[in-house]
Amino acid sequence: MKFVVAALYVLPHPPYFGIWYFQLLALRRAGRFDITIHVPPPDPEARTAILLLELSKRATSSRVLNKSWLANFARQELDGYTGAEVVAIVQAAAELARESHATEIACQHLISARHRVPPSTLEAYLKQVKQDHADQTTLEGLTKAVSVPASSPDGVSAAGATNPTWRQPLTFQLYLTVSAILIAVLAILMTTYIALEKE
């Protein structure tokens, strides 16, 4: 009998600095979590199916349930949204309908809910910012800020940021070592104090 154990984590690009970075490097060693599988957001047909499924559970106007309108909404307004975000949009639309004392979800509720639930994928977020803000310099600055990888000190400085001294690799290791020593000294002092109190 053979068993296959599959596991995953959703953090494709670990931050360069931070306490978890070294643990994530250990996870990505050969034979562990060394394979990266890109799972793209659902296509327009899948987004439409998710919308239909979620809206069928709630009181919804017949115009919203019109497949052509719903497919158009999913294709144009929800491009790049994940499945969970599409579900969140339907939930937000239901809340908007309830707040406006409507008996069913209308088209306007879905459109307004899209603005309440921002996309989490970078491509969809940049597209939404471009639609919502015509200011091209803001969009270019945002694109540059998020597209420069912070996977190395050079990437951070290329983005125009500076590394705090305590986060630089050698200093950071020294910081962790000193912290561990201080915790050990504190534990010894507490143990000694407790022993003296008992006597």
Q: What's residue 164's pLDDT?
A: 46
Tell me the sheet residues that pair with 22.
none
What are the structural domains, with CATH classification, of the chain?
19-38+164-198 (no CATH), 44-132 (1.10.8.60)
Q: What's residue 23's pLDDT?
A: 60
List the Cα angle 179/196/188 in 5-degree steps: 15
Q: What's residue 89's pLDDT?
A: 96
Q: What's residue 85's pLDDT?
A: 93
Tell me the sheet residues that pair with 60.
105
Residue 120 tokens read as: 């989490």
Q: What's residue 150's pLDDT?
A: 46
The model's pLDDT over 111-145, given as tens digits with 9 standing for 90+, comes to 999 989 888 877 777 777 666 665 555 556 655 55
Q: What's residue 141's pLDDT?
A: 60
The closest of 56, 70, 159 to 104, measured between CA atoms, is 56
Q: What's residue 184's pLDDT?
A: 84
Q: What's residue 163's pLDDT?
A: 46
The total number of residues written for the chain in this structure: 199
Which stretches in the chain have pLDDT values below 50?
12, 14-17, 148-152, 156, 159, 161-167
Cβ–Cβ under 8 Å, residues 7 and 33: yes
Helix boundaries (H) for the chain: 19-27, 44-55, 67-76, 83-99, 107-116, 122-132, 136-147, 153-158, 169-198
The model's pLDDT over 144-153, given as tens digits with 9 standing for 90+, comes to 555 544 444 5
Q: What's residue 10's pLDDT?
A: 59
The closest of 123, 40, 48 to 131, measured between CA atoms, is 123
Contacts of 20 (CB under 8 A, 6+ apart): 14
Cβ–Cβ under 8 Å, residues 175 and 166: yes
Q: What's residue 139's pLDDT?
A: 54
